[in-house]
Amino acid sequence: MLRRTHKALTHQTDEELLELYRSGSELAVLGDLYSRYTELVYGVCLKYLQQEESAADAVMDIFEELIGKVTKHEVRAFRPWLYTLAKNHCLMRLRKVGKNFTVPFDPGFMYSMEIPHLGEDVEDREQQIQQLERCLQQLTDQQQRCIRRFYYDDKSYKEIAEMEQMDLGTIRSNIQNGRRNLKNCMDG
């Protein structure tokens, strides 16, 4: 029976598996979903933590964190949400040991279904960062400030709303529209 269930799970979308787990299914369902992205999570952890052993430990810790968070948060697209969860987990680890770490925002990654290669060409990466900075300059001032605070400073919508003295809906709109404009600029 378990084998038949496991085969059936491989054909379901991320969101279907997530809903199945939330509706009281076994932890194995969430494990199957997570296993689709362990390479991605490991890559993110290795990028931030820069040590294979620490990255492997973080992959396990993130799964444990996922068990609780996935039932408390609205997750519309699992892969980008998991990427953000992994990134934030690593940043929190670095903060605990007293390291400051700034990461450039990469809007293309959030919409991509490809797993990034760890051996990326540095020159290509530098060109992407320069293009991203040029695209950021093309946003409205509000969008630019909201995007920078959300992605660069790791601030929540609520924190940005307080800083900008705007309502949450306006902040959400600025971030969503800014992200879409960045994607269009980066693709164009």
Q: At what angle do helices 14-22 and 78-96 cross, to 10 degrees?
A: 70
Share of the chain above pLDDT 90, in %: 26
Ramachandran area for residue 24 (φ above 0: left; ψ -120 to 50: alpha; else beta):
left
Which pLDDT belongs to residue 10?
Answer: 65
Summarize pLDDT for 13-38 with one digit per residue, the tens: 888 898 888 888 788 888 999 999 99
Domain coordinates in residue numbering, the chain: 2-96, 120-187
Top-tier CATH class for 120-187: mainly alpha
Output the CATH code of domain 2-96.
Answer: 1.10.1740.10
pLDDT tens string 47-95 = 888 889 999 999 999 999 998 888 888 888 888 899 989 998 998 888 8
Residue 99 has pLDDT above 60, yes or no: no
Say what the pLDDT of residue 124 is: 65
Structure tokens that stand for 24 in this block: 């009281």
Question: Which two tokens mark 45?
Answer: 């952890």
Using one digit for the tens of pLDDT, what is the confidence trace for 119-133? Answer: 445 566 667 778 888
The pTM score is 0.50
